[in-house]
Amino acid sequence: MTHDQSWLLISVSTAGGPGTLRVQVWRKLRSLGALYLQQSVCLLPDRSETIRQVRRLMDRVHQQGGNGRVLRITLADQAEYTQIVSEFNAARDAEYAEVLERLPAFREELDRERDRGRTTYAEVEESEADLERFRSWLAKIAARDYFHAPAGPAARTAVEHAAADLAAFEQTALSAETAAMSTGPGIPALHGEAQ
C-alpha cells in the first residue's frame, strides 16, 4: 500500500439518540479496529469491508437520532501515513500480545491435567472449547489487522502450538480410555443375549 491510499474519516455524535447508541457505536468502531484521532473522530482504511460496515453503522446512528459523517481522505504526507499505520499496528500488536499472554495458561492446564492423570474425554471437550475461543478471538483481531501487524504471525503460531498440545492430550486420553477398556471388567451381555 502507498501513502496515497484513501481513508474513511468518521465523525459521530450520539447526542439526541438513546443512551445505548453511544455504546453501540463505540463497540462497532472498536470491532472494526478504528483509530481514534480524538473523541468521536476516528479513521479506518477505505476498503470494501469497512465501507459496508460503516454505512450500516451510520444508518443506525441517523435512524436513532444521532448524526455522523464519513469523509474519504488521503494522506499526502508520507510521514503521516507511516505514523497512522504504525498506530494501527501498535493497537493490533497489543491485542495479539494479550492472546500470547493468555495462551501459556491453556497449555499449563493441559500439563496439570496430564500430571494428575486426568486425561479424559471431558477434559478434552473443555479444552477444545477453550481453544475455539482463542481461535475466534484471533480471527477477530486478524479481521481488523489491516496492515499486518508484526505480532500476528507469533500469535497464530502460538495458537497452532496450543492446538498441537491439545491433539497430543487427546491422543493420551484416547490411549488411556482404550487401555482401561481392555484391562477392565468384561462388558456385560445385553439382556436376551446368550450367556
103 and 72 share a domain?
A: no
Contact by Cβ (8 Å): 72, 7: yes
Please give the grid coordinates belonging to residue 27: 463497540
Residue 157 lies in a domain: yes
Q: How confident is the model at residue 2 (pLDDT cuts 50, 70, 90)?
A: low
Give pLDDT, residue 87. 98
Residue after which a domain boundary falls, among 76, 109, 135: 76
70 and 96 share a domain?
A: no
The pLDDT tens digits for 131-158 are 999 999 999 999 999 999 999 999 999 9
187 pLDDT more than 80: no
Give pLDDT, residue 184. 55
107 and 178 share a domain?
A: yes
Higher pLDDT, 90 or 171: 90
Mean pLDDT of the chain: 89
Give the position of cell 459496508: 52
Total-model pTM: 0.83
- Split into its structural domains, the chain has a count of 2
List, in sequence order, every residue forming a beta bridge with 105; answer none if it has no partner. none
Residue 60 lies in a domain: yes
93 and 54 share a domain?
A: no
pLDDT over 70 percentage in the chain: 89
CATH number at residue 62: 3.30.70.930
pLDDT over 90 percentage in the chain: 72
Please give the grid coordinates belonging to residue 106: 491453556
Which residues contact residue 38 at a Cβ distance below 8 angstroms, ignoring those fewer than 6 apart? Answer: none
121 and 59 share a domain?
A: no
Give pLDDT, residue 175. 76
Mean pLDDT of 24-41: 95
Which residue range is the domain that position 35 belongs to? 6-76
Give pLDDT, residue 193. 45
* Tally of CB atoms within 10 A around 63: 10
